[in-house]
Amino acid sequence: MPQSKSKVSQSRASETRKRTRIQQEKEDLILEAALDVFANHGFRGATIDQIADRAGLSKPNLLYYFKNKETIHRQLLDRLLDNWLEPLRELDADGDPIAEIKSYIRRKLELARDYPRESRLFANEILQGAPRIGEELSDLKVLVDEKAKVVRKWSTDGRLKKCDPHHMFFAIWATTQHYADFDAQVQVVLGDVVQGDGRFEDAARFLDQLFVEGLAV
């Protein structure tokens, strides 16, 4: 994904001087605490006091590192989007279409499994109309359009059934990120039938079946 033209996510410490190891550790501590708070309360419901309390810092100490909650939120989103789009960037036009789609689904499920808070952070931002990441969504469109051309080429070459690539991606996002954004619901519905990471393995097998059987020639 192209880099945003106007980065506003730099911390106060990194703006004023080269960060020391201790400064970096404090920033990481604050970001980790903020991720919990934003994932649980959304941007509007989160406060600097909540983040400072979760990080075990005083409010003035936190504000030395980050000017406000907008700066913290934006830095989390920048980091999230970079990781979130990596599997799509790696979709290889020269690879086997079914293998590439299966790999993409697997990696999206792994992100849902390993980064559920980040997924909820992104979902909250989108539900609010994406007021803080509009430019990044434009970059996302460029990447998705590029990969849609790859999928269309696979179909034209007879290597994949014809489908609408954009809606294929929407369907993959919806089904994989469901296991992060609605994990509490998933666990309640599954009950004791599936424990631990088993729900993600079962999901991977089902989604392979769903998409492979639907798209394979």
Domain boundaries 76-215, corresponding CATH code = 1.10.357.10
Identify the band that residue 94 occupies on the pLDDT scale cut at 50, 70 and 90: very high
Say if domain 12-73 classifies as CATH 1.10.10.60: yes
95 has pLDDT over 90:
yes
List the single range of 60-74, 93-107, 120-134, 169-183 with lowest mean pLDDT: 120-134
pLDDT in tens, 62-77: 999 999 999 999 999 9
Which pLDDT belongs to residue 15?
A: 52
76 Cα distance to chain centroid: 10
10 has pLDDT over 70:
no
List the single range of 1-15, 18-32, 46-60 with lowest mean pLDDT: 1-15
* Torsion angle, alpha carbons of 142, 143, 144, 147, to 10: 120
Residues 108, 110, 116, 121, CA torsion sign: negative
Average pLDDT over residues 139-143: 92
Q: What are the extents of the domains in the chain?
A: 12-73, 76-215
DSSP label of 138: H
